Amino acid sequence: MRAWLPALLRLALLVLLVVFIASPGWFEPLLRPLTENGAPAIYNQGSLLTLTLLHLRTVLVATVAATIVAVALAILVTRPAGAEFLPLSRSLVNIGQTFPPVAVLALAVPAVGFGEKPTLIALFLYGLLPIFENALTALTTLPGNVMEAARGAGMTGWQRLMKVELPLSAPVILGGIRLSVVISLATATIGSTVAAKTLGEVIIAGLISNNLAFVLQGGLIVAALAVLIYDGLSAIERYAARRMGREAE
Amino acid sequence: MIEIEGITKRYNGTAVVDDVSMIVEPRTIAVIVGTSGSGKTTLLRMINRLVEPTAGVIKLDGADNRSLPGYQLRRSIGYAIQGHGLFPHRTVAQNIGTVPLLLGWDKDRIKARVEELMTLYQLDPQAYGPRYPHELSGGQQQRVGVARALAAEPNVLLMDEPFGALDPIIRTKAQEDLLAIQKRFGTTIVLVTHDMEEAVHMGDKIAVMDAGKLLQYARPAEILARPANGFVETLVGSSERPFRLLSLGRVRDAVEPGGAEGEAIPGDASQRDALAELLWTGRPALPVKGADGKPLGRVTVEGLVKRARPA
Ligand SMILES: Nc1ncnc2c1ncn2[C@@H]1O[C@H](COP(=O)(O)OP(=O)(O)OP(=O)(O)O)[C@@H](O)[C@H]1O
Ligand SMILES: [Mg+2]
């Protein structure tokens, strides 16, 4: 009974989320008490479904780009030829992380204009570090005798990378992607300050019109998405780790 | 043939392998023994260039081993790594098929070869083929590691303590299998072990290493009879020496004319086994029979004891 309880809770959350996004009207009575002066209880300046999908798309695009760049960078600096760039790439990626996303937005708008682009840039920079760090850890802590066996079998450098190093690193890299996605899901909301179409729009609309119901529904959708995606990626990670005879941490 | 000529490997100025020269004749087994850290693994790895020597040359069948790119050289040399080093994310069958796949064998040929090797090492292909290495016992993993090294039918096989984790029964079986494979394909083998018994049993020649130096390289009987120095003598084990010497000889070669009471021992058995049987049963002599069952004569305690000392 214990074992399937969490799964059941997740399923319930997923169903609730889908139903809420698809027909938020059904939940109006629940949110009504949070509004004043007959203000609308359900976001009425656009479709929640569209905003959710756009929000997810923004996060997806930024994460895919961050993954490609971070993993490529980690591969590069763990090759003998690229080892000297290790400190440099570490500091570059760290700068990406220490720079506040709001500042990135402010700097990016003059360069690329309002809309999705500055948000993508901020999310991309912000998502790099966890993926890079994890990929670096994974690629530098591979079991020595397995790597020796790969060389001993006559694999070329490229074959070792594709057939041994990356598959063995996959669970840990996935862990980095998971962290990055969750950070991005939350951070994407501020993209709406520069006119990106994300769920941040709902929250900002609530703040402007002092409508607690808007703020709450925007926040809850983002939170539910984060929980579900985090769980899903954790499950994939555990599966990958189990296949390798490693315990997921 | 493997010709090792003046090979030295230094790490930070320390010679880990120090000016070693030895020749492994084609279709023979050279066993390297020595204390931990004496440079056995390093010497082995220089043969397939997993380690590049600081000085010296290694030739395989007359050709410098640097005349091919390293990865191509290594595909032609079987390597059973110390502690198996199986790929944890690949099944047993995929692990064994690694080198054939790299060499571009077609699927059916790889499958057939993998099943042949698994059967040889008593791992049912249906049951174990799809498993992952962590789902095997230590001894099974080690056998898969050896099977992987053998997969592409290499002419040269390097084995680093391949039977360490096997129980005595499976170890003996694995040794016999390896000898049979070696005879059948004429493989040249360099094998590292800590087990002197294994060295005497498997080796056409034994190389004794200490602190990077090759102390003695000779036939087992020679090493047992005339150890080059105190270190070799200790390693050989003075109390075991007579029995090891006897284990090298066949009963057939110790036969004396005459008969004896009791069950006959086959002429192929080792002289050590014959002596053990005599001591255990308290008899002075045993009848000996040939492969066809015909009596050949007898072996005596007295006769064997004479043979337990170097000539
Ligand atoms: N890459 C390396 N860098 C520095 N020192 C090394 C390196 N590889 C091996 N050594 C050293 O070389 C020496 C010989 O190592 P090697 O692995 O050849 O020993 P071995 O005889 O195989 O020992 P064992 O029986 O324990 O396997 C050891 O002292 C080891 O610490
Ligand atoms: Mg070793």
CB-nearest to B99 from A145, A154, A168 is A154
Domain shared by B165 and B274, yes or no: no
Is A143 among the domain residues?
yes
B292 band by pLDDT with thresholds 50, 70 and 90: confident
Do B131 and B206 share a structural domain? yes
- The rounded distance, in Å, linking the Cα atoms of A117 and A101 is 13
Claim to verify: residue B36 and residue B143 sit in the same structural domain: yes
Q: Residue for token digits 């009425």? A: A44
Residue-wise pLDDT for B95-106, tens only, equals 999 999 999 999
B41 plus B6 within the same structural domain: yes
- Residue A91: per-residue pLDDT: 84
Residue ranges of alpha helices (H) inside B3-86 are: 40-47, 70-75
Domain end position, chosen among B203, B236, B269 = B236
Closest residue by CA, ligand 1 atom 4: B11
Q: How confident is the model at residue A249 (pLDDT cuts 50, 70, 90)?
A: very low
- Report which of residues A192 and B157 the model is more confident about: B157
Closest residue on chain A to B81 (Cα)? A149
Confidence of residue B18 (pLDDT cuts 50, 70, 90): very high
Sheet holding B14-24, edge to edge: B14-24, B2-11, B55-60, B63-64
| Residues A33-85 pLDDT 10s | 888 887 888 888 888 999 999 999 999 999 999 999 999 999 999 998 888 88
Give me the mean pLDDT over the B149-157 stretch: 94
pLDDT in tens, B161-212: 998 878 888 888 889 989 988 998 899 999 999 888 899 999 999 999 999 9
Domain check: are B122 and B102 in the same one?
A: yes
**B222 shares its domain with B254:** no
Task: Quick: pLDDT tens for B272-284.
Answer: 999 998 889 888 8
Is the domain of B181 the same as that of B133? Answer: yes
Single residue among B236, B262, B284 that ends a domain in this structure: B236
Q: Which one of A80-89, A156-165, A232-241, B267-276 scores highest in mean pLDDT? A: A156-165
Q: How far is the CA of B199 from the centre of ligand 2 (A)?
A: 15
Torsion of CA B271, B274, B276, B277, to 10 degrees: 180
Query: What number is the average pLDDT over the span A167-178?
Result: 94
Domain count, chain B: 2
DSSP states along B41-63: HHHHHHHTTSS--SEEEEEETTE
* Residue owning tokens 């399923």: A11
Question: What pLDDT score does A245 carry?
Answer: 65
Domain presence at residue A36: no
For residue A31, the number of C-alpha atoms closer than 13 Å in the C-beta half-sphere is 21
* pLDDT value for A1: 56
At B91, is the pLDDT very low, low, confident or very high (cuts 50, 70, 90)? very high
Contact assignment for A154 to B86 by CB distance below 8 Å: no
CB distance B79 to A153 below 8 Å: yes
Whose CA is closest to A195, among A100, A124, A109?
A: A109
- pLDDT band at A248; cut points 50, 70, 90: very low
Computed over every residue of chain A, the mean pLDDT equals 89
The verdict on residue A139 lying in a domain is yes
Which residue among B72, B87, B133 sits closest to A154, beta carbon to beta carbon?
B72
Residues B61 and B148 in one domain: yes
Separation in Å, CA of B135 to nearest CA in chain A: 8
Relative to the CA of B212, which ligand 1 atom is closest? 14
Ligand 1 cavity residues, CB under 6 Å: B 11, 16, 34, 36-42, 82
* B266 and B221 in a common domain: no
**Nearest atom within ligand 1 for CA of residue B192:** 22
Of all protein residues, whose CA lies closest to atom 5 belonging to ligand 1?
A: B11
Which structural domain range is residue B300 located in? 244-307
> For atom 17 of ligand 1, which residue has the closest CA?
B41
Task: Give the angle A197-A200-A205 at the CA atoms, nearest 5°.
Answer: 100
Residues of A with CB under 8 A from a CB of B: 143, 145-146, 148-156, 159, 164, 167-168, 243-246
Residue B255 belongs to domain with CATH number: 3.90.1280.20
Residues of B in contact with A245 (CB under 8 A): 88, 132-135
CATH value at residue A164: 1.10.3720.10
Q: Which residues of B touch A156 (CB under 8 A)?
A: 71
Q: What whole-number percentage of chain B has pLDDT above 70?
A: 100
| Domains: count for chain A | 1
Q: Which of B7, B35, B40 to mutate to test the pocket of ligand 1 (most atoms within 8 A of CB)?
A: B40
Number of Cβ within a 10 Å radius of residue B291: 10
B287 and B151 in a common domain: no
Residue B37 alpha carbon to ligand 1 centre in Å: 5
**Are B10 and B137 contained in the same domain?**
yes
Q: Nearest residue CA, atom 7 of ligand 1?
A: B11
Distance of CA B81 to the CA centre of its chain: 14
Q: Is A12 exposed, middle or buried (0-12, 13-18, 19+ CB in 10 A)?
A: exposed
pLDDT above 70 for B92 = yes
Extended beta strands in B166-280, E state: 188-192, 205-210, 213-218, 265-266
Mean pLDDT over A169-181 rounds to 94
Which residues of chain B neighbour A152 with C-beta distances below 8 Å? 48, 50, 74, 79, 81, 85
Tokens of A113: 């204009």
With CB atoms and an 8 Å threshold, state whether A148 touches B50: yes
Please check whether residues B221 and B273 belong to one and the same domain.
Answer: no
- Please list the residues that pair with B99 across neighbouring strands: none
- Please answer whether residues B207 and B214 qualify as being in contact, where contact means their C-beta atoms are separated by less than 8 angstroms: yes
- Chain B from 74 to 93: CB within 8 A of any A CB: 74-76, 79, 81-89
Question: How deeply is B22 buried, as exposed, middle or buried, from its count of CB atoms within 10 A (0-12, 13-18, 19+)?
Answer: middle
Whether B230 has a pLDDT exceeding 70, the answer reads yes
Beta bridge partners of B78: B157
Q: Tell me the C-alpha distance between B299 and B295, whole Å.
A: 12
Give the side-chain half-sphere CA count within 13 A for B103. Answer: 19
Within 8 A of B75 by CB-CB distance, chain A residues are: 153-154
* pLDDT at residue A247 is higher than 50: no
What is the mean predicted confidence (pLDDT) over B291-302? 88
Question: B79–A149: do the CB atoms touch at under 8 Å?
Answer: yes
Quick check: is A26 in a domain?
no
| pLDDT tens string A103-139 | 888 888 888 889 889 999 999 988 888 999 999 999 9
Domain boundary (B202, B236, B270) is at B236
pLDDT of A107 reads: 87
Question: Is A150 close to B87, i.e. CB distance below 8 A?
Answer: yes
Residue A244, pLDDT > 80, answer no
Distance of CA B193 to the CA centre of its chain: 8
- Look at B75 and A153 and tell me if their CB atoms are within 8 Å: yes
* Minimum distance, in Å, between the CA of residue B98 and any CA atom of chain A: 7
Domain-embedded: residue A17:
no
Band of residue B236 on the pLDDT scale cut at 50, 70, 90: confident
Q: B109-146 pLDDT, tens per residue?
A: 999 999 999 998 889 999 999 999 999 988 899 999 99
Q: What is the ipTM of this complex?
A: 0.85
Task: State the residue range of the domain holding A65.
Answer: 46-244
Chain A to chain B Cβ contacts (< 8 Å): 68
- pLDDT mean over A77-96: 85
- Interior/surface letters B253-268, b for 16+ CB within 10 angstroms, e for the rest: ebbeeeebeeebbbbe
Whole-number percent of chain A with pLDDT over 90: 55
State residue B112's pLDDT score. 97
Within a domain: residue A13?
no
Give the CATH number, domain containing residue B164.
Answer: 3.40.50.300
Question: Where do we find the tokens 């098929």?
Answer: B97
User: Do the Cβ atoms of A245 and B88 come within 8 Å?
Assistant: yes
- Confidence at A87, pLDDT banded by 50, 70, 90: confident
pLDDT of the residue at A246: 57
User: What pLDDT, on the 0 to 100 scale, is given for residue A89?
Assistant: 83
Cβ of B71 under 8 Å from any chain A Cβ? Answer: yes
A156/B132 Cβ within 8 A: no
